[in-house]
Amino acid sequence: MSSIQDKISSGEAVVTVVGMGYVGLPLALNFAKAGLQTFGLDIDPGKVETLNRGESYIEHIDATRIAAVREGGNFEATTDFSCVEKSDAIVICVPTPLTKHHEPDLSYVVSTVESIVPHLKAGQLVSLESTTYPGTTDEELLPRIEAKGLKVGEDVYLVFSPEREDPGNPDFTNTTIPKVIGGTTPTCLEVGCALYEKVCDQVVPLSSTRAAEFTKLLENIYRSVNIGLVNEMKIVAEAMNVDIWEVIRAAATKPFGFTPFYPGPGLGGHCIPIDPFYLTWKAKEYNIHTRFIELAGEINESMPQYVVHRVSEKLNEQSKALRGSRVLIMGLAYKSNVDDVRESASFKLMDLLADQGVEVDYFDPHVSAVPPTREHARWTGQKSIEWEQDRVSSYDCVLIATAHDKYNLDETVAWCETIVDTRNVFGDREMKPGQLTKA
């Protein structure tokens, strides 16, 4: 057993988690709760100050969890990379977005590794959790680490273990979701498994970092392709005057061979709109054109335009033009009951509508104001409207983009004459004739 495994087993290991976002923060709290001294490293001093006060900036992460590990002395947030020198394990949880040309942007990963390397020493474990293309750990992390004179598999241990966070999911946490992990060498894998077994109920070891990297992409491409399929089926069903939601409910009664997926206004979240392009980009290196994956991506990316077209049709039925109309989008978060707006389709809806001369506002009980985003800076700082009858009833159309449980649907029906619903939040509720359009 290596020295680091002894420390992990005895609870004496020190862990640094880099990136205090939706993935890194809950993971760091789990390590601290398990009794390991944990540093939460982030370049944002505002986040660091908030965490060290025992407070939370992510809605579904209760501040009491942070306060508990702060009071217990096992957790400290910092902007100082020198904490790596005091650590036995360094876990990287930073974003892996796309460039404007839909190519992988590894700048956060690379800059993080280059900031870590000067502080690395023999006996440490480095784990990458950021979703990326197969080969990233071998091609980007390993040579940078070994350039310091540390041999991976002998001096330091390198693994890839993809995050499987599902913010706001009450049924699964990052403790109960099985943890996939691949090591650069068998010894790397052994050390990595020892670390994650401290905080995960089940660890799933794989033969290599590439297999682990590919696993995460398969999981999310599976979802992307099936969502693309059901989005296309929705368009066909609506053209035939068939309720796709009724069809999905009926198909889901089959006890085998069918898994229900649901349509929407477009993809959101950090993973599903992005991850497929990581594989399609890497596949070109092997002269492979991933037609099936790319087609699903094209369908999903076209959904905001389809929804705006449906809004325009609905307004036309009332002799109203899209230009000059006032539209309220309900839901800025990318999924139900969270405050996470990463890659939210609502931004694309807002952009498309505004570009056509529509006055756009939003209401979201989980997002009080639009945070800074890379691609939708025009909306930064805009606030959610107050949910008041006079204000809500003044809009020409209300567009349901996210299905939050906190909505008052009775008031929505009473106050809004024209509703376009992309999430089936009203189900089979009785409405006024012509009041509701599903899109």
At 337, the pLDDT band (50, 70, 90 cuts) reads: very high
- Both structure tokens of 158: 């390198």
Among 174, 206, 238, where does a domain finish? 206
pLDDT given for residue 429 in this prediction: 92
Tell whether the model's pLDDT for residue 95 goes beyond 50: yes
Helices 244-251 and 209-239 meet at what angle, rounded to 10?
A: 130
pLDDT digits (tens, 9 = 90+) for 380-404: 999 999 999 999 999 999 999 999 9
- Is the domain of 387 the same as that of 297? yes
Could you list the residue range(s) of the whole structural domain that residue 75 is in? 3-206
For residue 170, give the 3-state DSSP assignment. coil
Mean of pLDDT over the chain:
95
At 299, the pLDDT band (50, 70, 90 cuts) reads: very high
- 439 and 421 Cβ atoms separated by less than 8 Å: yes
- 81 and 51 Cβ atoms separated by less than 8 Å: no
- Is the domain of 232 the same as that of 180? no
- Tell me how far apart the alpha carbons of residues 362 and 399 are, in angstroms, rounded to a whole number: 9
pLDDT given for residue 273 in this prediction: 85
Q: Does residue 216 belong to any structural domain of this protein? A: no
- 327 and 314 Cβ atoms separated by less than 8 Å: no
For residue 328, give the 3-state DSSP assignment. strand
Q: Does residue 52 belong to any structural domain of this protein? A: yes
Q: Which amino acid is at 269?
A: G
- Tell me how far apart the alpha carbons of residues 416 and 393 are, in angstroms, rounded to a whole number: 5
* Global pTM value: 0.93
- Is the domain of 161 the same as that of 302? no
Q: Which amino acid is at 194?
A: A
Q: Does residue 134 belong to any structural domain of this protein? A: yes
- Both structure tokens of 413: 């029906």
- Is the domain of 283 the same as that of 370? yes
Q: Which amino acid is at 208?
A: S
Average pLDDT over residues 21-41: 97
For residue 41, give the 3-state DSSP assignment. strand
Instruction: Cite the active site residues.
Output: 271
Tell whether the model's pLDDT for residue 15 goes beyond 80: yes
Q: Percentage of residues in the chain with pLDDT exceeding 70? A: 100
Distance between start and end Cα atoms, the chain: 58
- Is the domain of 166 the same as that of 258? no
- Is the domain of 62 the same as that of 197? yes
Tell whether the model's pLDDT for residue 131 goes beyond 80: yes
Residue with tokens 């029906």: 413
Average pLDDT over residues 52-60: 95
- Tell me how far apart the alpha carbons of residues 393 and 344 are, in angstroms, rounded to a whole number: 25
CATH number at residue 341: 3.40.50.720
Average pLDDT over residues 211-218: 98
pLDDT digits (tens, 9 = 90+) for 156-184: 999 999 999 887 787 888 889 999 999 99
Q: Which amino acid is at 233?
A: M
Average pLDDT over residues 296-303: 94
Side-chain-side CA neighbours of 237 within 13 Å: the count stands at 16
- Tell me how far apart the alpha carbons of residues 250 and 311 are, in angstroms, rounded to a whole number: 28
- The lowest-confidence range among 138-142, 203-207, 271-275, 303-307 is 271-275
Q: Does residue 270 belong to any structural domain of this protein? A: yes
Contacts of 388 (CB under 8 A, 6+ apart): none
- Is the domain of 140 the same as that of 189? yes
Tell whether the model's pLDDT for residue 333 goes beyond 70: yes
- Is the domain of 339 the same as that of 399? yes
pLDDT given for residue 2 in this prediction: 67
- Is the domain of 263 the same as that of 333? yes
Tell whether the model's pLDDT for residue 1 goes beyond 70: no
- Is the domain of 164 the same as that of 235? no
Domain count, the chain: 2
